[in-house]
Amino acid sequence: MNSIPDKNSRLWALLILSTLLGLSILLEGCTDKCTETIVYKYYEPVYTPLATIRNGVKHEPAQPLKISGKIYFKDGFLFVNEPNEGIHVIDNRDPSNPVTKSFIRIPGNFDLAIRNTSLYADSYIDLVVLDISNLNQVTEVNRLEGVFSNYNSLGFYADAERGVVTKWIEREMPVVEQDCDTRFELWGGIRFRNGIAFAERASFDATMALAPGNSTGIGGSMARFTINNDYLYMLDAGNIITADISLPAVPEKKSAQYLAWDIETIFPYDNRLFIGARSGMHIFDLSVPENPVKITTYSHINSCDPVVVSGNYAYVTLRSGTQCDGFTNQLEVLNISNIQEPSLVKVYPMHNPHGLGIDDPVLFICDGDAGLKVYDVSDKLNIDKKLLKHYRNIHAFDVIPFNNVLMLIGDDGIFQYDYTDPLNIKLLSQIRKAK
């Protein structure tokens, strides 16, 4: 892997320094002058050639879970994404004794979906098709190159010569003295040299910087891939990409339509797609599956927004945080009996909700570091009075409820619960993350 300097690096440096110099001259005549020293953090992208990435898919022995990502369930097996690295395969036919079976290394993988014996996964800008008919020997059978053309890391897009940004390394950055009243902040980062500069007070998460999301398996509420009948739907930045998978090993891209820059999650229900965005929930009709048609949008305040649906109701969690640009943490219950005009039933305060899952009438909410909350939602107007269980000692990210077994993934690892009796939920097993 190698990093390649940006030709405009000196121009960026001169721009920053000249801006600061100009401000200092304008304020030179002030009698009460206040200055402060700002230390910037500078991160430089490291590129990996596309040929190296495309030769990187490998089936390897089981590995410890280090960073938990998306979760998927199919035919008694759990497929757990390790962001940017690949997929853990776990034999979960006995939920009380899950066995980590192997690891599928896929560079740049963040999302997945499964149809029959074909696993679809992103690999930075490509869509990879894997044959999982024999989980002892998983093989790549096809690849659609450049499907995710909008993939980028902090505005650094794939380049035919350099490849794709696969990691960021911290470099030395000049210390700048600034006037207190005209502080030049870089909270969102700015191009500098051949990388990105941030004010020291700003946070930088390298993993987040690299992240873009029956016969069919079941994905969690944070998914950016989903399957409905013979079609695979994928979110690529602000676009919905549709692929025909009637021939599972030979997916054919059918359409790519722009929806909104802030779309994040996708959930299929009743031949419709429910797409969560920071600004609202979009509903699409799949009567013409190769070309989803937008029905309506339910708008809310700016916040991260996964959604699940059951019957005539949609459950949406909104959360705050650095990536979400919002300050609201709540559960919204929507009546979608009139699909053209979803209406708000009630709002319930939460701590910092992430993923959620519904097995009517039981609703599971991953409330961040406040843990897992389990509600009876029979009475939509009094859900807060029907808290069945609250597990406070885990940091919950997403869940899949299936056949009275709840599969949960969080910062601490994978937890499974038997909720046959919702009033007496029992822990079945746990796979802790490696220290």
In a domain, 284, yes or no: no
In a domain, 3, yes or no: yes
Which of the given ranges, 97-101, 191-195, 265-269, 278-282, has the highest pLDDT on average? Answer: 97-101
Q: Strand pairing partners for 100?
A: 90
Q: Across all residues in the chain, what is the average pLDDT?
A: 84
Average pLDDT of 296-303?
A: 75
Share of the chain above pLDDT 90, in %: 59
pLDDT in tens, 112-122: 999 999 999 99
In a domain, 151, yes or no: yes
Q: Give pLDDT, residue 183.
A: 47
Q: Give pLDDT, residue 75.
A: 95
Q: Which helix (H) or strand (E) holds 71?
A: strand 71-74
Domain count along the chain: 1
Q: Give pLDDT, residue 54.
A: 96
The three state secondary structure string of 395-411 is: CEEEEEEECCEEEEEEC
State the Cα–Cα distance between residues 182 and 216, nearest whole angstrom.
56
Average pLDDT of 415-431?
A: 95
In a domain, 271, yes or no: no
Q: Give pLDDT, residue 334.
A: 95
Contact 170, 23 (CB under 8 A): no
Distance, CA of 329 to chain centre? 18
For residue 432, what are its two tokens?
């802790």
Question: What are the residues whose beta carbons fall under 8 Å from the beta carbon of 27, sequence distance 6 or more?
Answer: 33, 179, 181, 182
State the Cα–Cα distance between residues 394 and 430, nearest whole angstrom.
11
CA atoms within 13 A on the CB side of 175: 4
Contact 56, 105 (CB under 8 A): yes
Average pLDDT of 157-173?
A: 82
Strands 112-115 and 99-105: unpaired
pLDDT at 94 over 70: yes
Average pLDDT of 361-385?
A: 96
State the Cα–Cα distance between residues 157 and 61, nearest whole angstrom.
32
Average pLDDT of 236-264?
A: 94
Closest by Cα among 348, 368, 144 to 241: 144
pLDDT at 256 over 70: yes
Q: Give pLDDT, residue 280.
A: 86
In a domain, 297, yes or no: no
Q: Which of helix, strand or coil describes residue 13?
A: helix
Q: Give pLDDT, residue 148.
A: 93
pLDDT at 88 over 90: yes
pLDDT at 177 over 80: no
pLDDT band of residue 25 (cuts 50, 70, 90) is very low
pLDDT at 147 over 90: yes
- DSSP assigned state of 434: P
Where in the sequence is the domain holding 165, given as residue range(s)?
A: 1-223
pLDDT at 292 over 90: yes
